[in-house]
Amino acid sequence: MKHDTIERSIPLMVILTLVLISIGGIVEIVPLFFIKSTIEKVEGMRPYTPLELVGRDIYIREGCYNCHSQMIRPFRDEAERYGHYSLAAESMYDHPFQWGSKRTGPDLARIGGKYSNMWHQAHMQHPQSVVPESVMPSYPWLKKSPLKYEDIEKRMQVLAMVGVPYSAEQIANAKKDLQAQASASSDASGLSQRYGNKVPKDDFDGQPDQISELDALLAYLQMLGTLVDFSSYQAQAR
Partner 1 sequence: MADQHDVETTGHQWDSEEGYPLKEFNNPLPRWWLYSFYATVIWAVVYWVLYPAWPMLDGYTKGMLGWSMHQEFAQDSKAALAQKKASNDRLEKLSLKEIARDNSLLQHAMSGGKAIFGDFCAPCHGSGGVGVKAGGFPTLADDDWLFGGDLDTIYETIDKGRDGAMPAHLQGAGGAFSEAQVNDLTEYVLSLSKRSQDAAAAQRGDQLFHGEAGCNGCHGDLGNGSIKGTVAGSPAPPVGAPNLTDAVWLYGSDPAVVRASIAKGRTGHMPAWGSGAKETGKRLTPLQIKQLALYVHGLGGGQ
Q: Could you list the residues that contact partner 1 (CB under 8 A)?
A: 4, 27-28, 31-32, 34-37, 74-76, 79, 81, 83, 85, 112-119, 121-123, 129-132, 198, 200, 226, 229-230, 235-238
Q: How far is the CB of 161 from partner 1 (least distance, A)?
A: 27
Q: How far is the CB of 156 from partner 1 (least distance, A)?
A: 23
Instruction: For residues 114 and 81, give the distance between their C-alpha atoms in angstroms, rounded to a whole number.
Output: 12
Q: How far is the CB of 15 from partner 1 (least distance, A)?
A: 22
Give whichever of 126 and 176 is closer to partner 1, judged by the CB atom: 126
Q: How far is the CB of 142 from partner 1 (least distance, A)?
A: 16
Rounded to the nearest 5 degrees, what angle is found at the Cα of 117, between the Cα atoms of 116 and 119?
65
Give whichever of 154 and 198 is closer to partner 1, judged by the CB atom: 198
Q: How far is the CB of 200 from partner 1 (least distance, A)?
A: 6
Give whichever of 187 and 209 is closer to partner 1, judged by the CB atom: 209
60 alpha-carbon distance from chain centroid: 9
Give whichever of 19 and 27 is closer to partner 1, judged by the CB atom: 27
Give whichever of 159 and 217 is closer to partner 1, judged by the CB atom: 217
Q: How far is the CB of 160 from partner 1 (least distance, A)?
A: 26
Q: Using alpha carbons, select from 87, 97, 86 the residue that is nearest to residue 41.
A: 87
Give whichever of 124 and 156 is closer to partner 1, judged by the CB atom: 124
Instruction: For residues 124 and 237, give the distance between their C-alpha atoms in angstroms, rounded to a whole number.
Output: 40
